[in-house]
Amino acid sequence: MKTQRKCGWLTTFVMESRNILGDNLVGVYLHGSAAMGCFNEKKSDVDLLVVSEGGLSDEVKLRYMDMVVRLNREAPPKGIEMSIIRRAVCKPFVYPTPFELHFSVTHLDWYRTNPMDYIEKMNGVDKDLAAHITITLKRGKCLYGEEISEVFEPVKKEFYIDSIWNDVADAEDAVRENPIYVILNLCRVLAYGKEGLILSKREGGEWGLANLPGEYHGLIASALKAYSSDSAPERNDELAVKFAAYMLNRISQEKCLSLCGMLEI
């Protein structure tokens, strides 16, 4: 995210977050590929965590969502993914993590069609936030507000493992529809299970090439090439499903070992 155009909407996002939330805003934090050095303008979304001091009224949520939807038009094609969470669930960390408001482009039509229904129902808990907060702590960037280490506490290993397992559990089905994401994500999840590494998808694929059986190297290399360029991956659904099953078995073993190890402590 180097050009003025790309940075311009993000600067506006921070400025308008301050205007709308006022003293209730603790900070705005960038995580995901844009913070980890592997952002692809055409294939990556922009991941943001917004932390508030307290809750948000429906009126404030509507103003905030109108701002997010407007700026989403200026964001990269895959759009903004954003969650607002309260400081109180960050330190001490609460899992599954409650959120005040969430947006991604998959929900855009819902908000446009019925904003009040969206505002009333778009809250609850999200297991993915454990992974987002872990990445924010390890690799994220503070765009505004209090420093990351002051706002968030480290996520317990068992929570992080459950969070990332939840993200890949359907990989055998999902790999046909979204091979780039699933293949590289499986690699980085296993890298954490085996070595405790917090990696981007690109770094996960590179780890996979160095550590996984050779029969899968072509599949991983194709996903890496497609991830960092405009190309589509070479399709081999049979091998991709075999890879997903192999990786889920490996990840499940590491998950069990990790959890059993913690129970023995």
Q: Provide the pairing of β-strand 97-99 with 124-126.
A: antiparallel
The set of residues, in sequence order, having a beta carbon less than 8 Å from that of 195 and lying 6+ positions away, is none
pLDDT the model gives residue 265 = 41
pLDDT the model gives residue 262 = 54
What digits encode the pLDDT tens for the residues 133-169?
A: 999 999 999 999 999 999 999 999 989 999 999 999 9
What digits encode the pLDDT tens for the residues 5-63?
A: 456 999 999 999 999 999 999 999 999 999 999 998 888 999 999 999 999 999 999 99
DSSP state of 25: E
pLDDT the model gives residue 230 = 83
What sign has the CA pseudo-torsion 17, 78, 73, 104?
Answer: negative
What digits encode the pLDDT tens for the residues 58-84?
A: 999 999 999 999 999 999 999 999 999
What digits encode the pLDDT tens for the residues 175-229?
A: 999 999 999 999 999 999 999 999 999 999 999 999 999 999 999 999 999 998 8
pLDDT the model gives residue 261 = 55
Q: How far apart are CA 243 and CA 233, in angstroms?
A: 15
Residue 4 has pLDDT above 80, yes or no: no
Domain positions in the chain are 4-154, 158-264
* Class of 4-154 in CATH: alpha beta
Q: How far apart are CA 69 and CA 49, in angstroms?
A: 16
pLDDT the model gives residue 98 = 98
